[in-house]
Structure 1
Amino acid sequence: MIGRLVDGRQVVAEAPLQIHIRNAEPLRSKVAESLRRSGAPAVADGVCDSRDYDYGDLDLRPWFDRPDAMEHIDGLLGSRRISETDAERLRAFVTQGFLVLPELVEAPLLRDLNEALDDVVAKAVDGYQEGSSERIHGLHDRYPAVKALWLHPEILRMLDLIFGQPARPCQSLTYVYGSQQEHHQDTIHLTPFPAGYMCGVWTALEDVQEGAGELRVFPGSHRLDRLYMAGLGLPKVGGEWNDFGQKAVPAWTRMLESGRFRSEAYLPKAGSVLIWHENLMHGGAPRRDQSVSRRSIVGHYFAEGCVAYYDSSGLPGVMRLDPRPS
């Protein structure tokens, strides 16, 4: 490959360029073959879009989106690769679209996480205003406790079982109060190819109370169609989300109503972790009591070997290759 430095339309320098791809996972070869067959770009050069990829190739579906998903779990259990508890949780992921790891986070880490949030509030990190529903991005790069949660061995182990590949973190979002975000699918925002290879991870840093803007999930809604920007006739979002909200949210609402899906309030104890399927419909309930916090951290993870991008904005995704805990 030849690398060129261009000033306007004039090439001012060029030199041979070698690209070494650090990815030896089995999924990589399947994805690479699909990209070759479809002519999809192997390197992001401009806007990323769902139309670039062959989402119709059913052979690329992850095991949990296949008709024989329960047999896959039975095979893992029979070979003693997982415990019966793991199997129950994976079955819930297949049927409900999420699983729960109750009170997983250790007390010392939980204390450090809450101390980190105290510091965020006291210093108004990233302009955070006390009492607001705004999210704070990327605290894993500032606070060791948040990074320790981001790379928690048991969370990564469970994600590895779900993906069948090593899980790689992408981003973290931290909340002091409930988000009050409309119901949505993450697929349109944190978008993998092949479909299915992204999960959200929601950790409660305190006991969540009803009325605090609790997370609400719609069990089974992960089987609904995936919505992408092109299918909605939407341009990529550069900064203003009004058009997106006017088209995407009503579309999601119609899908939920047509399938008669009901939301459930998630009221976990501190330290509990919820892992959800990328396409699960979820959102934040209204904060009926504005004085009650809902301290929580969300991480998003992609499977190593997939293509990661943000269909809503057209930006390429980033998987962090931090050393995994041994």
Structure 2
Amino acid sequence: MLQRFFQKYTGFLRSLKWVYVLNNLLNYKHLRQNKALYKRLGLHKSVVSPIGSTDFPDKSGELPWLDRPDAADMVEKHPNFQLMEPDLQVQVRQFIRDGYLILEGFYSKPDTDALNAEVDRLLGAGKTGFNYTGRKIFNLHAQSSLADAYFFRQPEMLKLLSFLLGKPVIPFQSLNFVQGSEQRAHSDSIHMTTEPPGYLIATWTALEDCTEACGPLFYYPGSHRLPYVMTTDYDSGNTRFTIGSTSNRRYEDKIAELIATHKLEKKLFLAQRGDVLIWHANLLHGGDPISTQGSTRRSMVCHYYAEGVFCFHEMSQRPAIIRHRNF
């Protein structure tokens, strides 16, 4: 499949929109369900065609409930919030204010040990591997019932994420890391986008203790309140037929400018094994440089869309392909 090919490939073909259209055609069975959404959104194009934020000039869609001006008041009155433990209530309030929350010790040491062993087993057997970055293992959950059931689709986690978005969530994508990503600051919403905006949420699970030397995750509290940056907000280099070859770098340059302009405070997530950080679709985050050669930062990131919204990839101008289990 083209998807596997492009996980390793970094050449010219990645810039051609028709290559993504071909991949969409090969995955038509996953995309045809979008026809009803296209009709509802007034989109007059094929479900396999390139698509981006410019196809949605009317930005009057319904905001996620915790993004609304009265969210802090609404959440206090919600019956499910009132049933939460006080510590979790504090974290939910922080999610509204700062765009993230932290669940300390959500997973046990045996849970994280089991997943680490599973990653090593699948890598050793050649059943999974790193993409072109050399850091990311895409969708390990599709090869592992353990990763899928206990991490990607953990029932209590799905319940909390659905509460935060105000809609049931759809598990979309997982990323596993052995070392830190060292990725520059970004918002997930340039890569995994929704219409209306904001209906994506992510979890980051520490599979070992993190230190400043291992290239920890960093984030900018409150940055989720900034406007969403789309490809029209910087010089992406996109044309009718191609994706700009330096679009990602120029996007990250734009984000760096915003961080400096707004004097945002950077925080490190020096997590303990089993801790989970949940972040808003627009929270700016990334990976610090690894200062000790060979140090690891084993972790698992999961991304979830909300049901009933249109999901696409703004950077590469393509609809999201949502698959089911592969085992």
Q: Give me the TM-score of the superposition, normalised by structure 2.
A: 0.81
Matched with 1:150 is 152
Structure 1 gaps of 5+ residues are 1-18
Distance 1:41 1:162, change over 3 A: farther
Question: Is the 2:201–2:303 contact (alpha carbons within 8 Å) kept by the matching residues of 1?
Answer: yes
Render the CA deviation track for 1:62-86: whole Å, top value 9, x for unaligned: 1111110101111115873544333
Larger Rg: 1
SS in 2 for 1:99: strand
Matched with 2:82 is 80
From the two aligned structures, give the one with the greater strand fraction.
1
C-alpha separation between the residues in 1 aligned to 2:250 and 2:170?
31
From the two aligned structures, give the one with the greater helix fraction.
2
C-alpha separation between the residues in 2 aligned to 1:320 and 1:297?
19
Structure 2 gaps of 5+ residues are 1-30
Deviation, 1:107, is 3.5
Matched with 1:299 is 302
> Which deviates more, 41-50 or 108-117?
41-50
Matched with 2:11 is none
Task: From 56, 59, 68, give the equivalent of 2:59.
Answer: 56
Give the letter for the 1:136 counterpart. I
C-alpha separation between the residues in 2 aligned to 1:78 and 1:124?
44
Equivalences for residues 80-119 of structure 1 within 5 A:
80-119=82-121
Distance 1:141 1:239, change over 3 A: farther
Render the CA deviation track for 1:247-306: whole Å, top value 9, x for unaligned: 211210111111110211101111111110111110000000122100001111000111
Q: Give me the TM-score of the superposition, normalised by structure 1.
A: 0.81
CA RMSD of aligned residues (A): 2.9
Task: From 164, 170, 181, give the equivalent of 1:162.
Answer: 164
1:181 corresponds to 2:150: no
C-alpha separation between the residues in 1 aligned to 2:91 and 2:78?
13
> Which deviates more, 68-77 or 240-249?
240-249
Deviation, 1:314, is 1.5
Question: Is the 1:133–1:175 contact (alpha carbons within 8 Å) kept by the matching residues of 2?
Answer: no
C-alpha separation between the residues in 2 aligned to 1:176 and 1:236?
36
Matched with 1:243 is 246
Distance 1:118 1:246, change over 3 A: closer
Distance 1:292 1:20, change over 3 A: closer
Q: Kindly, what percent of the aligned residue pairs are identical?
A: 30
In the alignment of these two chains, the number of paired residues is 292
C-alpha separation between the residues in 1 aligned to 2:188 and 2:179?
20
Deviation, 1:153, is 1.2
1:67 corresponds to 2:69: yes
C-alpha separation between the residues in 2 aligned to 1:237 and 1:270?
46
